[in-house]
A and B are shown apart, each in its own frame.
Chain A
Amino acid sequence: GENVEQHPSTLSVQEGDSAVIKCTYSDSASNYFPWYKQELGKRPQLIIDIRSNVGEKKDQRIAVTLNKTAKHFSLHITETQPEDSAVYFCAASIWNNDMRFGAGTRLTVKP
């Protein structure tokens, strides 16, 4: 089955700096890659997703890139703000099959 690895497990940046979180997946048939943000004590919420027919997607300060050949995808957050502090999860899924999540990255943005 699909295996998703996520790095780093913790990340601390200064406000205004960029943050990058990387994930790798094992099953080349995976075609959907979402990213979820979970603030302390709250439910995970989708922040951006990408499908395998697209190499990059942006939404304001966040972007996701996908390298199908290398089987990895990354989340990029620019101009970080304290409210970006949260746990971020990547996931990979094959259409109508299991969605597997990475172990999460705890991002801390220092004011």
Chain B
Amino acid sequence: DGGITQSPKYLFRKEGQNVTLSCEQNLNHDAMYWYRQDPGQGLRLIYYSQIVNDFQKGDIAEGYSVSREKKESFPLTVTSAQKNPTAFYLCASSIGGTGTGELFFGEGSRLTVL
């Protein structure tokens, strides 16, 4: 069953802790993305990667880090430097780069900072 899988679905974190959100895809897509979704603000791009071992900052990259060591995996680390990390995080992938076609989204990870 092809698709994009995010884990965990729900995550609670204490202030000052780093957390890593997993994103795996078996669609053989080149490009992968991380978006943050807050109520009334749409989807804001955190990072994206067009190919393995390369990634670019989006609009709100501060306090986040990513890696792309394998084509199918694009984990996102929310660091303690992120001042307001409580949000819904969506991972996506596409065959080519942005603007080339459909984004396929995972089911999301909801992070709550206690």
Contact = CB atoms under 8 A, between A and B. Distances in A.
Given A42-B107, A44-B90, A99 B45 contact: yes
Interface in A59-111: 89, 91, 93-104
B103 A99 contact: yes
Interface in B91-113: 96-103, 105-108
Interface size class of A (residues with CB under 8 A): 20 to 34
Given A42-B107, A44-B90, A44-B105, A9 B99 contact: no
A95 B97 contact: yes
Nearest to B38: A103
Contacts of B102: 34, 46, 49
A31 B105 CA distance: 21
Interface residues of B, number: 24
Contacts of A99: 45, 98-99, 103
A100 B60 CA distance: 12
Contacts of B108: 43
A96 B100 contact: yes
Contact of B97 (A1, A6, A42, A96): A96
B2 interface: no
Interface in A4-23: 4, 6, 9
Contacts of A6: 42
Interface of B: 35, 40-45, 48, 50, 58-59, 90, 96-103, 105-108
Interface of A: 1, 4, 6, 9, 31-32, 34, 36, 42-46, 49, 89, 91, 93-104
